[in-house]
Amino acid sequence: MTGVVFVTGTDTGVGKTRIAVALCRAMAARGTRVAAMKPVASGCVRTPQGLRNDDALALLAAMNVRASYSEVNPYAFEPAIAPHIAAQEAGVSIEFDVLDRAYERLRLQSEYLVVEGAGGWLAPLDATRGFADLAVHWQIDVVLVVGMRLGCLNHALLTVESIERRGLRVRGWVANSIDPQFERLPENIAGLRSRISAPCLGFLPFAPQAGPEHPARTLAVDALLEAAELS
C-alpha cells in the first residue's frame, strides 16, 4: 500500500513547498517511487500549456513518478488569492470526485505520495469545506511545517489540536526559520518539542538562497518510509 502524507503549515508562506519538495527528493534518493500532488493552487501563470503554478511545478520536478501536470495540480487559478475565492471568481466548483481521481492515479503509481495543501490547515476550498476536510476525506497522516516567527507557538499548537480533533495523526513536524530576526529561536523549538508528541523531522535555518538539496539531506524521513512499509 502506498504511504501518504499531507503537508500543511501554520500559515501561508511558511515553507510547505520547500518541505514537500525536500521529502520527495529525500525519498527518491533512497530509491523510493515518490509522487506529489498540489490539489488546488492559486497564483498561477498563463502559459501556452495552460495555467501553471510554481509550487506544483517544483513538486513535479522533484518526484520520480511520471505524471501529467493536471494530475499533480487538478485545480489551478490565476489570482494569487485564497483558493475558494479564486474558484468562485472563476465560476468553478472544486469537486472532491475530480481530486479523488487524480489522487488515486498518483497513489497507484507510487510507493509514497506527498500531498501539499495551500495556505494553512483550515484554508477553505468552498463555502463549507477546506483542506482539512480533504485530508480527512483521504484519511492521511499530516506533516506540519511550522514557520518559526513570533506567534508560531500558538499557531502550531492550535493546528496540531485541530488535526488531532479530526481523528488524524501528526506524523511529524518541521521547524522552518522564516524570520532571521526572530528572537529565542532555540527556546521556541524546545517549547514545541515538549508540547507536540509527534517527532520533529528537522530544523531548517533561514537560507532563502539555498537549493533544494540541503533540506532534502537535513530532514529525517526514515520514520515516514518505515511507516509506509508497515502499512
Task: State which amino acid sits at residue 49.
Answer: Q
- Which domains occur in the chain, in start order? 3-230 (3.40.50.300)
Rounded-to-integer distance, Cα 16 and Cα 82, Å: 16
Nearest Cα to Cα of residue 56 among 20, 92, 107: 20
Backbone angles phi, psi at 229, to 5 degrees: -70, -30
- Give the pLDDT of residue 216: 64
For residue 23, give Cα distances in angstroms to 4, 15, 117, 188. Answer: 11, 12, 14, 24
- Give the pLDDT of residue 230: 46
- Give the pLDDT of residue 220: 73
- Give the pLDDT of residue 44: 97
- Give the pLDDT of residue 1: 47
SS3 content of the chain, % helix, strand, coil (to 5): 40, 20, 35
Residues lower than pLDDT 50 in the chain: 1, 228, 230-231
Instruction: Label residues 54-70 b or e (16+ Cβ within 10 Å = b).
Output: ebbbbbbebbebebebe
Q: What is the DSSP letter of 103?
A: H
In the block, which residue shows the cell 517511487?
A: 33
- Give the pLDDT of residue 223: 64
- Give the pLDDT of residue 166: 98
Cβ 7 vs Cβ 145: under 8 Å: yes
Q: Is 16 a catalytic residue?
A: no
- Give the pLDDT of residue 222: 74
> Of the listed 38, 107, 149, 155, which one is catalytic?
38
Q: What is the β-pairing status of strands 200-204 and 170-177? A: parallel
